[in-house]
Amino acid sequence: MQHSMIMEHVTFGVCYYPEHWPETLWRSDLERMRAAGITVIRVAEFAWNLFEPREGAFTFDFFDRFLALVSTFPEIRVIFCTPTATPPAWLTEKYPEVLNADLDGRPFSHGMRRHYNYNAPVWREKSRLIASKLGEHYGTHPSIIGWQIDNELNCETDVFYAQADHDAFRVWLQQRYGTLDALNEAWGNVVWNQSYTDWSQVHLSRPAAGRAGFNPHMRLDEKRFFSDSAISYCRLQHDALREHVPADRFITTNGTFGHLDYKALVGQGVDFLCYDSYPNFGAGMIEGPSGEMADRKWSWNLANVRAFSPLFGVMEQQSGANGWVMRMAARAPLPGQLRLWTFQSLAHGADFISWFRWRTATFGTEIYWHGILDYDNRDNRKLREATRTIADAAKLPGLAGLQVQAKVAVLRDYDNLWDGEDDLWHGPMRRAGEAAWFEALQTTHTPYDIVYLDDGTLAADLARYDLVVYPHATILSPARAAVLEAYVADGGRLLLGARSGYKDSRGQCPMEPAPGPIAGLCGATVLEGSMVTPADTPSHAEWDGVRLDTPLWNDVIDPDPGAGTRVLAWYAAGRFEGTPALTERAVGAGHVHLFGAGFAADAARALLAGFGAASPYRALLELPAGCELAVRGQGADRLFFVLNYGEETTVILKKLFTDRLTEEKKIGETRVDRFGVRVLSLNAKEGMV
Ligand code: GAL
């Protein structure tokens, strides 16, 4: 990764919009930022008209003036953005083909943001040109340390149905399949007479009689295409910038949204990824059956970003109440939460934090999306809390670059994420399962990673994990099954959930027993299965007297005794009572388990405990469920982050720790304030434990 200075030590910034404020305010803003310890500002992501107010008439006066002032603040550096998230009105009016359209083919009108599509040739050229012009003009500016491409690719919408997208999809399919015969075969087009005889007949989704009946194989390719389109668009801008931007300045983009394979994006289109973290969304938007963990749901999202960028930045960290002009969606952070959420990001691997935004907008759509300062521009408690947070982080000089530690991983892959979107069972079951594992990992203080399998994943990438959970990999290619097999043979423990391995990478169901290419490794096949609905007798299984709930789906597993497969748990109720629900097979130095059901939090906790993977740090410290534990670094560098999402509480330190924020030595019962944070280290000798 190219880091430049922002990642060499933990660095703090703000999102700033000089175009929203009188120029007379710029200097005092920069002075107040400097006083608080803010040393990076992100600018220009929506400012196209300031660079090209009329087609081809480029001017840089505005940001030249702003950057000239910034240059007089040697401590303050700039992340400059390409402004393509909001194409100007002159552009969309003259070239309406750049606008995105909905599935019904209705083009978006100008306005809001991200109203463009990625494939219109004129839009790609206009985007390349503005990126190139900005790179040329500002590429070597001494105040600029890095670049952000666009803003939040695939936010607002992650589907694209403009004419240019239909056209580009055809080209994409021709490259993928070569012939119409191959396409017809891959999409199973003989069904319902969908076979194409000419490429002109092929489209992305369009209005049909009943939207539940889209061709599933086409829909999967459609999402792959959306993702490839976004990546190619980002790459176009990256390459245009790189022609002018020296290699010691990074190029990134921000956010994680749907239908975009960020693992492919990182490395192809950006040097590393930045996330936009608004934890208060979690309080009102709870996924999964349990409704638990909303207070820290963003930890899962941060682990997800880390899957793409082991070290990353947070380009937008929530600092105030959230809302747009038509809604006030999230409440104001309570005292302590701005600091807590910032440390949540640091604990999960962020080395750069930029709060959104320096000051709340006084006009426009985002007048209710509060930043650090409010409309009145007075110093306030949020600024004091941000200042304190920066001072705290300065006490952790070795933090940047330390790897987040985890021995458990939850696997994901884009084929399954996307294939599960259209149905009412696979997608919801995956989400519920992930929520269950999140809750179990959180409440047992078991640090975890999320890992995305792709065609480049090697068994070595998984080797650091004692337990790998792949909840519902319905699509599983032989190549990925082979990677999992090698991981197990080398000593790993793999747990697969219901409906594994019955589809190939086209989303078709080959005529072979599930779990398909991984059945041999499991030493078991699935005889039959069924959804478990509220109308069914609730089903559960028992493992050595411990109850494992088996919601949503039940597979009947048929273990092959000849392969040495053991049944660990049997369904004790429900439709398939008395049949195997959980198996184990020892393979090489490791183990593989097939579980026939969806995952609930209690079952995930029991499985974690049963596999000896729960609470790896219990010999060092004991925490209540309201606190999260995250660990960065190894040996004597290791830092333990204790994040308290609730009221004042007590943790028990079983060894002598140093509190790195207060320099106090601590052992035994130790208080953690409401929304408090402790960053602890062991002395060098115990650090090796
Ligand atoms: C983000 C976006 C910002 C700002 C913020 C608050 O999604 O990147 O530009 O709009 O949300 O709404």
- The enclosing H or E element of 79 equals strand 77-81
CATH number reported for the structural domain that contains residue 656 in this entry: 2.60.40.1180
Cβ < 6 Å from ligand 1: which residues? 151-152, 155, 276, 316, 356, 366, 369
Query: Which residues make beta-bridge pairs with 628?
Result: 643
Protein residue with least CA distance to atom 6, ligand 1: 369
Question: What are the structure tokens assigned to 167, written together?
Answer: 């056209």
User: Which atom of ligand 1 lies nearest, measured to the CA of 151?
Assistant: 8
Beta-sheet strands, E only, within 247-320: 250-254, 272-277, 312-318
- Name the strand (E) or helix (H) holding 566: strand 566-571
Q: Is 306 exposed, middle or buried (0-12, 13-18, 19+ CB in 10 A)?
A: buried
- Give the end of a domain, one of 588, 610, 632: 610
Instruction: Tell me the pairing of strands 493-496 and 590-595.
Output: parallel
Closest CA to 563 of 542, 594, 541: 594
SS3 627: strand
- What's the token pair of residue 71? 């240059």
Residues 368, 373, 375: CA angle, nearest 5 degrees: 55
Residues 317, 356 contacting (CB under 8 angstroms): yes
CA of 225 to the centre of ligand 1 (A): 25
Q: Strand ranges (DSSP E) for 576-684?
A: 580-587, 590-595, 621-622, 627-632, 639-644, 649-659, 665-672, 677-682
Domain end point (choices 561, 584, 610): 610
Residue type, 496: L
Chain Cα centroid distance, residue 584: 31
Token reading at 683: 């002395």
CA distances from 630 to 318, 400, 617 (A): 20, 15, 10
152 is catalytic: yes
Crossing angle of helices 426-443 and 297-308, in 10° steps, is 100
Phi, psi of 683 (to 5 degrees): -70, 165
- Which of 575, 610, 645 is the last residue in one of the domains? 610
- End-to-end CA, the chain: 30
Residue 50's CB is within 10 A of a number of other CB atoms, namely 18
User: What per-residue confidence (pLDDT) applies to 72?
Assistant: 98
**Overall domain count for the chain:** 2
Of 19, 79, 150, 152, the one to substitute when testing ligand 1's pocket (max ligand atoms within 8 A of C-beta) is 152
Residues 6+ apart with CB under 8 A from 661: 392, 395, 677, 678, 679
The tokens for 477 are: 């290619």
**Are residue 499 and residue 568 in the same domain, yes or no?**
yes
CB 131 within 8 A of CB 64: no
Residues 6+ apart with CB under 8 A from 27: 69
Give the residue among 677, 663, 681, 7 at the shortest CA–CA distance from 312.
Answer: 7
Q: Which two tokens stand for residue 134?
A: 């900005």
Could you tell me if 433 and 573 lie in one domain?
yes
Distance 79 CA to ligand 1 centre (A): 16
Pocket test for ligand 1, best of 356, 366, 367, 372 (most atoms within 8 A of CB): 356
Does residue 501 fall inside a structural domain?
yes
**Read out DSSP for 591-614?**
EEEEE-B---HHHHHHHHHHTT-S
> Cβ(10)–Cβ(18) under 8 Å?
no
Phi first, then psi: give them for residue 495, nearest 5 degrees.
Answer: -120, 120
pLDDT at 538 (0 to 100): 85
- The tens digit of pLDDT for each residue in 148-160 reads 999 999 999 999 9
**Which pLDDT score, from 0 to 100, does residue 685 have?**
60
Which residue's CA is minimally distant from atom 9 of ligand 1?
151
Q: Are 629 and 503 in the same domain?
A: no
> Which domain covers residue 628, as residue numbers?
621-686
| 357 Cα–ligand 1 center, Å | 9
Assign 3-class secondary structure to 484-498.
Answer: HHHHHHCCCEEEECC
Q: Ligand 1 mean position to 97 CA, how many Å?
A: 26
Q: Are residues 470 and 562 in the same domain?
A: yes
**CA quadruple 291, 294, 295, 297: dihedral sign:** positive
Counting every residue, how long is the chain? 689
C-alpha 269/C-alpha 118 separation (Å) is 14
Instruction: Give the pLDDT of residue 91.
Output: 98
Residue from 45, 222, 316, 485 carrying the catalytic annotation: 316
List C-alpha distances in Å: 274 to 16, 266, 296, 350, 351.
17, 10, 19, 9, 10
Rounded-to-integer distance, Cα 471 and Cα 562, Å: 26
Ligand 1 centroid to Cα of residue 283, in Å, is: 18
pLDDT of residue 212: 67
The rounded mean pLDDT for the chain is 94
Cα 255 to ligand 1 centroid, rounded to whole Å: 10
pLDDT of residue 4: 42
Index of the ligand 1 atom closest to the CA of residue 155: 7
CA-atom Rg of the chain in angstroms: 26
CA of 83 relative to ligand 1 center, distance in Å: 14
150 found inside a domain: no
Question: Which residue, by CA, sits nearest to atom 10 of ligand 1?
Answer: 366
pLDDT at 29: 98
Give the separation between CA 345 and CA 343, rounded to whole angstroms: 5
Q: Which residues have CB under 8 Å from 424's CB, separation 6+?
A: none
Across the strands, what pairs with 526?
557
Pocket test for ligand 1, best of 113, 276, 281, 365 (most atoms within 8 A of CB): 276
Distance in Å, CA 370 to ligand 1 centroid? 11
* Pair 671, 604 in one domain: no
The reply to whether 213 falls in a domain is: no
Residues of the chain with pLDDT under 50: 1-5, 284-290, 687-689
657 and 603 in one domain?
no
The answer on 656 and 559 residing in a single domain is no
Which of 273, 316, 325, 372 is the pocket-test mutation for ligand 1 (most atoms within 8 Å of CB)? 316
Q: Is residue 272 part of a domain?
A: no
| Dihedral in degrees, nearest 10, Cα atoms 250, 255, 259, 260 | 10
Residue 1 lies in a domain: no
Backbone angles phi, psi at 603, to 5 degrees: -65, -40
Q: Confirm whether 461 is domain-assigned.
A: yes
Out of 52, 152, 434, 439, the active site residue is 152
CB atoms within 10 A of CB 593: 25
**Nearest atom (ligand 1) to Cα of 324:** 12
476-524: pLDDT as tens digits: 999 999 999 999 999 999 999 999 999 999 999 999 999 999 999 999 9
User: 442 and 505: one domain?
Assistant: yes
Residues 645 and 549 in one domain: no
The CATH number for 491's domain is: 3.40.50.880
Peptide bond into 381 cis (omega under 30): no
Determine the residue of 113, 151, 325, 370 to mutate for testing ligand 1's pocket, defined as the one with the most ligand atoms within 8 A of the Cβ atom.
151
Model pLDDT, residue 85: 98
512 is catalytic: no
SS3 406: coil
In a domain, 163, yes or no: no
Query: Both 587 and 675 in a single domain?
Result: no
Q: 451 has which bridge partners?
A: 411
* 487 domain residue, yes or no: yes
Nearest in space to 277 (alpha carbons), one of 257, 296, 302, 249: 302
Same domain, 644 and 590: no
Same domain, residue pair 548 and 636 = no
Distance CA 32, CA 334 (A): 23
Name the β-bridge partners of 665. 658
Quick one: pLDDT at residue 328? 67
pLDDT tens-digit readout, 572-625: 999 999 999 999 999 999 999 999 999 999 999 999 999 999 999 999 999 998
Q: Let me know if 316 is exposed, middle or buried by CB neighbors in 10 A (0-12, 13-18, 19+).
A: buried
Cα of 544 from ligand 1 centre, angstroms: 50
DSSP element (H, E) containing 543: strand 540-543
pLDDT (0 to 100) of residue 292: 66
CA distance 503 to 511: 10
- Distance (angstroms) between ligand 1 centre and the Cα of 322 equals 10
